[in-house]
Amino acid sequence: MSLDIVDVSTVPQFKAEWRRLFDGYTIFYKREPSDAVAEAVWAWLNDPAHEEEGVLALLDGKPVGLAHFRRQPRPALGVDMGYLDDLFVDPGVRGQSLGRKLLEHVADVGRARGWGMVRWTTADDNYVARTLYDRLSKKTSWNLYEMTL
């Protein structure tokens, strides 16, 4: 078994496979997949001027997981940190530490850029992922709010 983590922008031939994973992530969070949303995100990931970045986990050359992340300023400390927007592993290959490998990759990027930390949110009922997150990170006491505009 060979695992590689590659930047989405370097593998345009995997757009359909990325889309399958992105749609899986979307459906997991009970949203309807959208061509317009997927095309916008794909364009961000392939635009060097856009802050959103993405990687694919390739298992024996086949895309089986994704992570989308970005730099986020942390004004309280005057430093940058990372923010993990999306993490998804194909259900058919879960249990092989691919989520951990994707998180470790994002952490390596963050360390190389001097971020100091990476944050993310997940659904309260995402128990399987939260088990992994509890092993790799610390749950904060913050509550998340959204203001619809």
Domain segments of the chain: what residues? 3-136
Task: Please give the backbone phi and psi of residue 119, each rounded to the nearest 5 degrees, phi first.
Answer: -115, 160
Strand partners, 7: 55
pLDDT at 75: 95
Which of 124 and 74 is assigned the larger pLDDT? 74
Residue 45 near residue 86, CB atoms below 8 Å: no
CA 39/CA 19 separation, integer angstroms: 9
Provide the 3-class DSSP secondary structure of residue 82.
Answer: strand
pLDDT (mean) for 77-102: 96
Q: How confident is the model at residue 11 (pLDDT cuts 50, 70, 90)?
A: very high
pLDDT at 146: 83
Query: What is the pTM (predicted TM-score) of this model?
Result: 0.92
Q: How confident is the model at residue 129 (pLDDT cuts 50, 70, 90)?
A: confident
Q: What is the mean pLDDT of the chain?
A: 94
Tell the CATH superfamily of the 3-136 domain. Answer: Gcn5-related N-acetyltransferase (GNAT) (3.40.630.30)
pLDDT digits (tens, 9 = 90+) for 18-74: 999 999 999 999 999 999 999 999 999 999 999 999 999 999 999 999 999 999 999
Helix axes 127-136, 98-113, angle to 10 degrees: 40
